[in-house]
A and B are shown apart, each in its own frame.
Chain A
């Protein structure tokens, strides 16, 4: 047997070990464990605000931390920072490249970032001395599109890319601190853990991976989806991961049990999931779909408890504010809506 065959045999054997270890942990299922609790009542949210101003498809939005400000990115080539209560545009930032796919708000509120088909992550300083918003850094090294980015602080940001890697950057020097390689397909989405020690990535290889930021290591890999994972998020306590896929389902994976606990699916839902966000307590999962709707799930009972219908095109992004008071959806119809 040549070395390649030996390695493949070993890989299969280890995969079997992992499957067996996971099975050994299945002393029950989440479904059985929650049998005694009631499904949450029907959730009916209303559109409270419509943020109008973008002239083309909105691809991404991100709430600021502990604020009612949020940033959105559209292929009209603009990044807009909105005051979601007054609906005023606090900043309207023209971009060098209009092919933007992601945006992020720094926890400090000082910076925003965006990127897309230009393969770069551009950092903008909102609090510059002269009041003008300027590009502070252009983080270039990815060899594929920028699908997602999230700030750890004003000096560090993590990006995911179509080149199958995620990268931790030093914003000050504009250099790569760590390259997280391992996915076998385009990385589509990432989310940082509440304690900022880990991040998770979802990719077109149908898997989600948990990465230790400081140890530069992939700790766990989760499979099960039958198509690209487009959206990913942490359950609020950081112990579980929620994924949304082109296979029209969402899944909940527990990190400490190292396995999938439940799938959120319905035969009537046939369109891919584009985005997702948990509510403050984690009891609800809001998932945006290609069919212009947002489905609201009872996280524990895996039943659909609400629908947000109001957009005239694909819901491309969704986010729940840090105080849990509102949900924001962004769509290819060029509008953002605030619901609660």
Chain B
């Protein structure tokens, strides 16, 4: 037990703390079984709409980069050459494309 006299501030502060504790003690509480069941039900009800949980197909993923096709397309254009005798495009050498 402290023998130091307490300031009015400290007593007022402790009174407020006790008053707050009374408020918190007085609330209604549900059982853990009900709380757990409600959490489980919420999770299962919403699971199929949770992209991070279910995974996102590449075609539906706006964040997934689709750059590779563009690069291949540009490289194909550059490999076409014209045969001077026929003025027709030589068959594009596709062997390097198959390597991808």
Contact = CB atoms under 8 A, between A and B. Distances in A.
Q: Are A and B bound to each other? A: yes
Interface of A: 2-5, 7-8, 10-11, 14-15, 17-18, 21-22, 24-30, 33-34, 37, 40, 43, 45, 48-49, 68, 84-85, 182, 217-221, 235-237, 239-240, 254, 256-259, 261, 279-284, 299-300, 320, 323-327, 338, 340
Given A30-B32, A300-B39, A282 B46 contact: yes
Interface of B: 1-2, 6, 10-11, 14-15, 17-18, 20-25, 27, 29-40, 42-43, 45-47, 49-53, 56, 61-65
A309 to B, nearest CB: 17
Contacts of A300: 39-40, 43
A43 B53 contact: yes
B43 A283 contact: yes
15 contacts: A3-B6, A4-B10, A8-B14, A10-B18, A21-B29, A25-B29, A25-B31, A48-B65, A236-B46, A257-B35, A280-B50, A283-B53, A284-B53, A325-B56, A325-B63
A43 B53 CA distance: 7
A49 B63 contact: yes
Contact of A259 (B32, B56, B62, B64): B32
Contact of A324 (B36, B38, B51): B51
Contact of B31 (A48, A257, A299): A257
A24 B65 CA distance: 54
A320 B36 CA distance: 24
B18 to A, nearest CB: 5
Contacts of A24: 29
Nearest to B38: A239
A240 B53 CA distance: 20
Contacts of B63: 48-49, 84-85, 325-326, 338, 340
Nearest to A326: B63
A18 B24 contact: yes
Given A7-B11, A325-B62, A15 B21 contact: yes
A15 B18 CA distance: 9
A299 B29 contact: no
Contacts of B38: 237, 239
A252 to B, nearest CB: 8
